[in-house]
């Protein structure tokens, strides 16, 4: 596979992940916003990071490979948040929120380095 093909595949992968992630953020935020404020905060933070990642790629501060890795970390955090909520009747505890926020902050520090 030549460099152009690899670059095209990375671009397509990032675009697919980005559009899927953005759609998921929008659907989740409206469903949880009224009834689950801690989950809403966590997910808004993830949505903000998603936008920042895309902006940093656009500005050339992040490579597409770095963006894919950051999106993967955010997806892991979202999965963990979902698993926590599943164990608590659709809510997350303050401690779980703090844990997720710490993880989000670690990813946030990697954006725009």
pLDDT in tens, 93-113: 999 999 999 999 999 999 966
Q: What is the residue range of 13's domain?
A: 3-110
- pLDDT band for 36, please (50, 70, 90 cuts): confident
Structure tokens at 5: 């093909």
CB atoms within 10 A of CB 112: 12
Over the stretch 38-79, which tens digit does the pLDDT of each residue have? 888 988 999 999 999 999 999 999 999 999 999 999 999 999
The answer to whether 14 and 66 have CB atoms below 8 angstroms apart is no
How many independent structural domains does the chain possess?
1
Q: List phi, psi (to 5°) of 48.
A: -65, -45
Candidates 100, 19, 102, 17; CA nearest to 66 is: 17
pTM: 0.65
- Per-residue DSSP letter, 77: H
């Amino acid at each position: 596979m030549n460099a152009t093909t690899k670059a095209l595949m990375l671009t397509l992968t990032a675009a697919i992940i980005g559009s899927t992630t953005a759609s998921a953020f929008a659907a989740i935020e409206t469903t949880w916003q009224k009834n689950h404020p801690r989950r809403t905060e966590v997910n808004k933070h993830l949505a903000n990071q998603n936008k920042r990642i895309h902006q940093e790629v656009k500005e050339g501060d992040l490579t597409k490979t770095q963006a894919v890795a950051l999106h993967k970390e955010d997806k892991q955090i979202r999965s963990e948040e979902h698993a926590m909520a599943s164990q608590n009747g659709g809510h997350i505890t303050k401690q779980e929120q703090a844990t997720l926020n710490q993880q989000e902050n670690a990813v946030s520090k990697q954006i725009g380095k």
